Amino acid sequence: MFKKIQLIILAGILLSFLPCHKHIKVNRKKSPSLKDYNSISTYFGPKDNLDEQLIKLINLSEKNIYGAFYSLRLPKVASALIDAKNRGVKIHLVMDNGRINNFRSQYARLRKHISVKTTSQTRGLMHNKFCVFDNKVIWTGSYNPTYNGTYYNNNNVVIINSETLAKDFINEFHRISRSEDFHNSVGEHSPALTKKTVAFFSKKDNCKEKIIQLLNNAEKSICFASFIFTDKDIAKAIISKHNKGIKITGVMEKSMNSFWNMFSFFRHVGIDVKWDKNYSHQMHHKVFIIDKQIIITGSFNPTFSAHKLNWENVIVIRDAKLAKLFMDEIKNL
């Protein structure tokens, strides 16, 4: 009889937990994942805390990360990469050989935990600032994860959820790092400018030619923000459009003023170009907005080095809403 009472009491205790368990299951929030990212989104620094956006993507990664960094100096970004490695994410990094020993570079620290490759070219820079997360989410733009790049400089980042485009960036990573995993697809890479989103890479695609082609197709307006602008051919394409009545506006980084800079050239022909207002730090964008709907961004400055010597990427996006965000950013510079 006593054992039967014990069994009844035990059954009652177990049953009392069932409603609670059901309630917890119904109200449990779904954990965020990379799948939750929209097809295309953009962030601007320093206002949008680009370091936190990058770390969030690193923390959400489950399989692999491919990162090409011109300069990586933020300890917390390095820590996030090391933590990802420790939880089983495969990390592949390539960095510019000329920046790995600079002040605050995280190269030495990262090498203790992760295999980091460096570029070996005698001239030019590995100037990319892109990552690919779990073979589907791309991060690219003008942002270097450094102290000034995060907290003071004007930068942009675009995040694109596209497995197709991710393959192009991963292939580019292997090409830069001369990885044995690289499959030579140069002949296959001929993306059309008519696509909504397309990427071009220096030393393979003629990024300068693609930019000029898009500028030549402008029908109403060109708006640009340029850290350094010394390329005469791209400048001539803009001036030609100005002479045909196309509205041109631009902002340029004042600290980059020199005999070779196109600022005075633009002003001389009557183009509405201004110096940036970030006097103590850098306006680091490399952006063209065409007809308020086509965005050209990435790591590519309109310079000889970007065209002939550096590893660079250019991303072209056709999206009027996104273009407005970029134009609003440029107006505030």
| pLDDT tens-digit map of 264-322 | 999 999 999 999 999 999 999 999 999 999 999 999 999 999 999 999 999 999 999 99
213 and 168 in a common domain? no
pLDDT at residue 192, as a whole number? 66
Whole-number Cα distances in Å, 155 to 85, 103, 141, 190 = 28, 21, 8, 28
Over the chain, what is the mean pLDDT?
Answer: 89
Tokens 């917390």 sit on residue: 76
In a domain, 22, yes or no: no
Structure tokens at 270: 């009557």
132, containing H or E segment: strand 129-133
pLDDT band at 2 (very low <50, low <70, confident <90, very high): very low
Q: What is the pLDDT of residues 104-151, one digit of tens each?
A: 999 999 999 999 999 987 889 999 999 999 999 999 999 999 999 999
Find all residues with CB under 8 Å of 65, minimum gap 6, and list them.
Answer: 58, 81, 84, 89, 90, 91, 92, 131, 132, 133, 134
- Domain assignment present for 107: yes
Does 248 fall in a domain? Answer: yes
Q: Is 264 within the bounds of a domain?
A: yes
268 and 296 co-located in one domain: yes
* Claim: this prediction has a pTM higher than 0.95: no
Residue 14 included in any domain? no
CA 68 to CA 129: how far, in whole Å?
Answer: 6
Q: CA 132, 43, 134 angle in degrees (round to 5)?
A: 15
Strands (E), 35-104: 40-45, 64-69, 90-95
The CATH number of whichever domain residue 57 belongs to comes to 3.30.870.10
Q: Measured between alpha carbons, how far is 277 from 239 in angstroms, rounded to an integer?
A: 24
In a domain? residue 92: yes
CA–CA separation, 57 vs 132, rounded Å?
9
pLDDT of residue 117: 96
Range of the domain at 175: 34-182
209 and 175 co-located in one domain: no
Which of 137, 156, 182 terminates a domain? The answer is 182
Question: Which of 41-45, 68-72, 181-185, 267-271 bottoms out in mean pLDDT, i.e. has the lowest?
Answer: 181-185
Determine, yes or no, domain membership for 9: no
Q: Is residue 327 part of a domain?
A: yes
Q: How confident is the model at residue 35 (pLDDT cuts 50, 70, 90)?
A: confident
Tokens 């970007």: give the residue.
306
Show the tokens assigned to 103: 């002040």
The last residue of a domain, from among 154, 182, 210: 182
Asked if 276 and 301 sit in the same domain, the reply is yes
Please state the domain count of the chain: 2
Residue 23 pLDDT > 70: no
Q: Which residue has the tokens 């892109």?
A: 130
Q: Is the model's pLDDT at 332 over the cut of 60?
A: yes
Any residues with CB less than 8 A from the CB of 318 and at least 6 apart, and which? 195, 196, 197, 293, 294, 295
First and final CA of the chain: distance in angstroms?
A: 84
